[in-house]
Amino acid sequence: MATPDVLTPSGPTTPSHEEDSIEARFRFGNRDPRQGHSGSGTNLSAAQDSSSTLLGSGAGSFGSATNLRAQEENAKAAAAAEEANKRHTLFGGAKPHEEKEKSHSNLKRFFKFGGGHHKSKERKAHSPTRDGTVTPPAHKGSVSIPFADDHGLQSKYGKFGKMLGSGAGGSVRLMKRTGDGKTFAVKQFRNRHNHESERDYNKKVTAEFCIGSTLHHGNIIETIDIVFEKGSWFEVMEYAPYDLFATVMTGKMGRDEITCCTLQILSGVAYLHSMGLAHRDLKLDNVVINEHGIMKIIDFGSAVVFQYPFEKGPVLATGE
Residue-wise pLDDT tens digits, 252-290: 999 999 999 999 999 999 999 999 999 999 999 999 999
Q: What is the pTM of this model?
A: 0.52
Count of structural domains within the chain: 1
Query: 3-state class of 38 per DSSP?
Result: coil
Q: Is residue 33 part of a domain?
A: no
Domain that holds residue 251: 153-305
Q: Determine whether 35 is exposed, middle or buried from the number of CB atoms within 10 Å of its CB (0-12, 13-18, 19+).
A: exposed
pLDDT of residue 80: 81
Q: Is residue 247 part of a domain?
A: yes
- To which H or E segment does residue 106 belong? helix 96-113
Whether residue 281 lies in the annotated active site: yes
pLDDT of residue 178: 86
Q: Is residue 139 part of a domain?
A: no
Q: Is residue 7 part of a domain?
A: no
Catalytic residue among 20, 32, 131, 281: 281
**Do 184 and 157 meet the contact criterion of CB atoms below 8 Å apart?**
yes
pLDDT of residue 100: 56
pLDDT of residue 96: 52
Q: Is residue 284 part of a domain?
A: yes
pLDDT tens, position by position, 100-118: 566 666 655 555 554 444 4
Q: Is residue 101 part of a domain?
A: no
Query: 3-state class of 160 per DSSP?
Result: strand
Give Cβ neighbours of residue 243 (< 8 Å, ≥ 6 apart). 165, 285, 288, 289
Q: By C-alpha distance, which of 170, 287, 149 is closest to 231?
A: 149
pLDDT of residue 82: 76
- At 161, phi and psi to the nearest 5? -115, -145
Q: What angle do CA 141, 145, 146 make, to 5 degrees?
A: 145
pLDDT of residue 1: 47
pLDDT of residue 280: 93
Q: What angle do CA 165, 168, 173 make, to 5 degrees?
A: 25
Q: By C-alpha distance, which of 10, 52, 63, 62 is closest to 29?
A: 52
- At 260, phi and psi to the nearest 5? -65, -45
Q: Is residue 61 part of a domain?
A: no
pLDDT of residue 133: 53
Q: Which residues of the chain have pLDDT under 70?
A: 1-66, 84-151, 319-320
pLDDT of residue 143: 47
Residues linked to residue 258 through DSSP beta bridges, in sequence order: none
pLDDT of residue 215: 96
Q: Is residue 92 part of a domain?
A: no
Q: What CATH code is carried by the domain that includes residue 227? A: 1.10.510.10
